[in-house]
Structure 1
Amino acid sequence: MGAMPSTDAIGFLRPTHRRALLDLARRSIEHGSVHGLPLRIQPETLAPELAVKRATFVTLELHGKLRGCIGTLQAVRVLAEDVVHNAYAAAFRDPRFPPVSPSDVERLDIRLSLLTPAEPISFTSEEDLLRQMTVGEDGLILEEGFRRGTFLPTVWASLPDPKTFLQHLKLKAGLPEDYWSDSIKVYRYRTETIDKHSV
């Protein structure tokens, strides 16, 4: 028997596991619409690939428009458990939107993003940072003191210019778009995306 792919890597899940995660996300939203709580799962019943600790984001769209997005940046729960919690939170706890109505639950498009562990980027200036950003692939976390913001790699689709991407990330972190200091920290991660088109 061959070694199992690293669970920190992109693409370690088989199609059956990808479908299972999407199903868990939708079931958690359905459960939440009735009971006001995320779906409860038993980690000991999960396939080993779904029982590893992994950070995830769950993005919901309705009629092609964002309807909620909640996630974790550090692996604090097993993969399946993180997905059911974030799916519930994206549907009912995203402060930018009212809770999803029961009639909209089945209409939601669900996208899961499985994050690799974030790694610090070493840079000497904003220009140096911009040169190191990989368009379309990097998810970024920006930290300055107690302020923090992140953009998933999917955000590149609407902000394809690195400078504009970074400016909007600063705004998300609560900083002016032209802000810069030597104490800014930036981390990068990649994601494996799971949605109805990838299973």
Structure 2
Amino acid sequence: MSTEPLGRALLICARNAIGERFGVAALPVSSLAELAEPAATFVTLTQNGRLRGCVGSLEAHRPLADDVAENAVAAAFRDRRFAPLSARELPRTRVEVSLLTPPEPFPVRSEAEALDRLRPGIDGLILSCGHRRATFLPQVWESLTDPRQFLAELKLKAGLPADFWDEQLTLARYGAQKWKEN
């Protein structure tokens, strides 16, 4: 199956979920079997190319359509980095949906090994250490092109120093297929 119909359906699901909060009429969504399958997604909102919200699931735990709808609402109204989206902002807000592959352990013995094995532009990365956890989607490589900077910023996002490394730190990587509104 072509991914275009799926991508269109996911973007509509996300926009419908946000629009529903403002009383905007829902657009029809194709009835694709994939929408009922468990999947993990992230929904990213931008305005004029700048981040306006991003929330997602790292592991599949609900049907794809539900995951997208829930993450879209969370990105619009519950991303702690931003005030809740207003109805006035909705027309200038662009939606992007990322469909994640299951995370795979990415065992490394050192930061140098991690940097050597990272695949810029391909790998999404989950960093965990104790109760701290953070992720960057593969598309973050578009703005953080250097693996050293990518990993340093991910550590900062997790609340760790940029130069932190510990044997308790674990990494997992995943891929993503994304669709974005024009």
- Sort the Cα spacing of 1:97 and 1:13 in 2 relative to 1 into closer, same or farther, 3 A: farther
Letter in 2 for 1:190: G
**Shift, 1:124, TM fit:** 1.6
Letter in 1 for 2:137: L
Name the structure 2 match of 1:51: 36
Name the structure 2 match of 1:115: 100
Letter in 2 for 1:107: R
Q: Work out the CA distance in 2 between the residues paired with 1:17 and 1:147.
A: 34
Letter in 2 for 1:20: A
Name the structure 2 match of 1:89: 74
TM-score w.r.t. length of structure 2: 0.92
**Shift, 1:47, TM fit:** 2.2
Deviates more, 1:26-35 or 1:110-119: 26-35
Name the structure 1 match of 2:46: 61
Q: 2:176 aligns with which of 191, 194, 199?
A: 191
**Shift, 1:196, TM fit:** 2.6
Q: 2:21 aligns with which of 7, 20, 32?
A: 32
Number of aligned residues = 178
CA deviations 1:103-139 (Å, max 9, x no partner) are 1112211100100000001212110111010011100
Letter in 1 for 2:129: E
Name stretches of at least 5 consecutive residues in structure 1 with no aligned partner. Answer: 1-11, 40-44
Letter in 2 for 1:14: T
**Shift, 1:79, TM fit:** 0.6
Letter in 1 for 2:19: E
Q: Work out the CA distance in 1 between the residues paired with 2:171 and 2:6.
A: 32
Q: Percent identity?
A: 48
Q: Work out the CA distance in 1 between the residues paired with 2:55 and 2:75.
A: 5
2:60 counterpart of 1:75: yes
2:4 counterpart of 1:15: yes
Letter in 2 for 1:176: P
- Sort the Cα spacing of 1:13 and 1:112 in 2 relative to 1 into closer, same or farther, 3 A: farther
- Detail structure 1 runs of 4+ shifted over 6 Å in the superposition: none
CA contact (8 A) 1:13 1:49 kept: no
TM-score w.r.t. length of structure 1: 0.85
RMSD: 1.7
Q: 2:116 aligns with which of 131, 147, 150?
A: 131
Q: Work out the CA distance in 2 between the residues paired with 1:14 and 1:138.
A: 20
SS at match of 2:46: strand
Letter in 1 for 2:124: G
